[in-house]
Amino acid sequence: MKSTLIVAIIISIFGLSSCYAQEDISFLKNVSNKDKVIALLKSMETGAQEPVSYINPNKYIQHNLGVADGLAGFGALLQALPPNSVKVHTIRAFTDGDYVFTQTDYNFFGPKIGFDVFRFEDGLIVEHWDNLQVTPEKPNPGGHTMVDGATKITDLNKTEANKEIVKGFVTDILMNGDMSKLAGYFDGDNYIQHNPNIPDQLSGLGATLEALAKQGIFMKYDTIHKVLGQGNFVLVISEGHFGEDHNSFYDLFRVKNGKIAEHWDVVEKITPKKDWKNQNGKFNFPK
């Protein structure tokens, strides 16, 4: 049954190109971009065909390096999934201009936590980026999972200010290593941490970084590629190294009263270029 649904989706994908050339697609305006993304992600579990219509069939740029470009790559991915294996629970979803970004609890070739970013043009999805990490078997030292915690979007009028605060933190602390500025980004020791290996509180973050350094393990962010936000939530997409690994870092922060209050992240090792299934790069956000 599942394979039949997948085949139907793939067939519908390649029928869309001519369909859009002939028909009015104004119906897309009745669905928010955020809802389109949530429905598309869920369709990987349910096999629903309608959400595929939210993708531009003539332009779909893929930045997951393990998936071939375009809708053909998306269809091949669906075919490769074991029957009835996919589970999709989107925990948080946000909109920033033409971008929608989500945090999702997946069973996708095994349990994973993922961030997905989609770019829209004229109401249709034209580009996708993501970062995936295997789900830990137990909570972190503070008792938190990678996805629990606050979900309410507030302070919409502070979006740009909050993006600047978080970008400053990543630049000063994670890129430049200026620990003298660390305390200024937090409200004392009030800080909730969802990284699988780091305890709560600012003191927990500092102690973890110090312990890693003593072992000769350093986390260094080299480049910020994109900062997205909605209200009190800000996602920073960066590239750097954790130990010897070349990594993609997706960090989601919640800001409260101008201070960082909560943090979630997903760290993924970047696939060697010889193994890429598309040549779009892991990042390459439009300027």
Same domain, 164 and 100: no
CA distance 69 to 77: 11
Q: Of the candidates 102, 135, 168, which is a domain's last residue?
A: 135
Beta bridge partners of 92: 103
Q: Domain total for the chain? A: 2
Is the pTM for the entire model greater than 0.85?
Answer: yes
- The Cβ of residue 264 has, within 10 Å, a number of other Cβ atoms equal to 27
- Which CATH number does the domain housing residue 37 bear? 3.10.450.50
Q: What is the CA radius of gyration of the chain?
A: 20
Q: Of the candidates 80, 101, 135, which is a domain's last residue?
A: 135
DSSP string, 144-162: --SS-S------GGGHHHH
Residue 21: its pLDDT value, please? Answer: 45
Say if 215 falls within a structural domain.
Answer: yes
Say if 144 falls within a structural domain.
Answer: no
Say if 116 falls within a structural domain.
Answer: yes
pLDDT in tens, the chain (287 residues): 444 444 445 445 445 444 554 455 555 668 999 999 999 999 999 989 899 999 999 999 999 999 999 999 988 988 888 888 999 999 999 999 999 999 999 999 999 999 999 999 999 999 999 999 999 999 999 999 999 999 999 999 999 999 999 999 999 999 998 989 999 999 999 999 999 999 998 888 878 878 877 887 778 899 999 999 999 999 999 999 998 899 999 999 999 999 999 999 999 999 999 999 999 999 999 98
Classified as helix, coil or strand, 30 is helix
Token output for 57: 């069939």
Say if 149 falls within a structural domain.
Answer: no
Same domain, 108 and 167: no
Residue type, 134: V
Beta bridge partners of 251: 236, 265
Domain that holds residue 200: 156-269
Same domain, 99 and 211: no
For residue 171, what are the CA distances in angstroms to 87, 95, 268? 35, 23, 20
Say if 223 falls within a structural domain.
Answer: yes
Same domain, 128 and 19: yes
CA distance 194 to 148: 8
Same domain, 181 and 264: yes
Residue 68: its pLDDT value, please? Answer: 97
Residue 24: its pLDDT value, please? Answer: 53
Same domain, 70 and 170: no
Same domain, 111 and 211: no
